[in-house]
């Protein structure tokens, strides 16, 4: 499903002669195809699952945010704008991100569902969050919140 959305967006960008959009979407497609080759085929699948595509897109956004921080230090506003535009384009393929309250509620629900009682159960909670909320949560932020809730702070 996500692949079809990305393909349609590429066609639209090409029709509207949006060079930056075409370039970014082609980069997304290339990353997905590389994951297909590196991950899916060795395990016997033809392509990676939608959840894995969502995870890949989030990783692409994360790397761009890190690059933006580096570019800020180097006073490279032109590159900051380019990376920010790419983030905006990539984000349109992700499901709506949960807000702070929704994230805390989701974490509390998963903790209750898994019966997690301490920080030792964090892996079990994080795995359930990834399965239930793929693409909707920033897992690094969620990890800190899970740790906080499980440690009772």
CA gap 90, 113 in Å, rounded = 32
Domain count, the chain: 2
- The mean predicted confidence, pLDDT, of the chain is 91
Are 32 and 86 part of one and the same domain? yes
Are 104 and 32 part of one and the same domain? no
Residue-number span of the structural domain to which 55 is assigned: 2-91
Which pLDDT score, from 0 to 100, does residue 93 have? Answer: 93
The alpha carbon dihedral of 11, 13, 19, 25 has a sign of: negative
Are 116 and 44 part of one and the same domain? no
Q: What is the mean predicted confidence (pLDDT) over 115-142?
A: 85
pLDDT per residue as tens digits for the range 2-43: 999 999 999 999 999 999 999 999 999 999 999 999 998 889
Instruction: Check if the beta carbon of residue 126 is closer than 8 Å to that of residue 99.
Output: no
Are 84 and 22 part of one and the same domain? yes
The CB-based long-range contact list for 114-117 (8 Å cut-off, 24+ gap) reads 116/150, 117/150
The alpha carbon dihedral of 132, 137, 140, 144 has a sign of: negative
Are 132 and 80 part of one and the same domain? no
**Furthest-apart CA atoms within the chain: distance in Å:** 54
With CA atoms as reference, report the closest residue to 60 among 83, 33, 36: 83
pTM higher than the cut 0.85: no
Are 61 and 8 part of one and the same domain? yes
Among 91, 116, 136, the domain boundary falls at 91
């Amino acid at each position: 499903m996500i692949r079809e959305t990305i393909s349609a967006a590429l066609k639209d960008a090409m029709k509207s002669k949006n060079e930056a959009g075409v370039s970014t979407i082609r980069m997304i497609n290339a990353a997905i195809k590389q994951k297909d080759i590196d991950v899916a085929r060795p395990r016997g699948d033809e392509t990676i699952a939608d959840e894995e595509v969502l995870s890949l897109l989030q990783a692409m956004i994360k790397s761009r945010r890190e690059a933006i921080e580096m570019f800020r230090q180097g006073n490279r506003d032109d590159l900051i704008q380019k990376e920010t535009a790419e983030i905006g384009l990539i984000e349109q393929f992700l499901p709506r991100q949960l807000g702070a309250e929704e994230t805390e509620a989701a974490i509390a629900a998963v903790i209750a569902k898994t019966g997690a009682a301490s920080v030792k159960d964090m892996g079990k909670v994080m795995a359930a969050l990834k399965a239930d909320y793929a693409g909707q949560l920033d897992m690094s932020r969620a990890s800190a919140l899970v740790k906080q809730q499980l440690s009772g702070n």
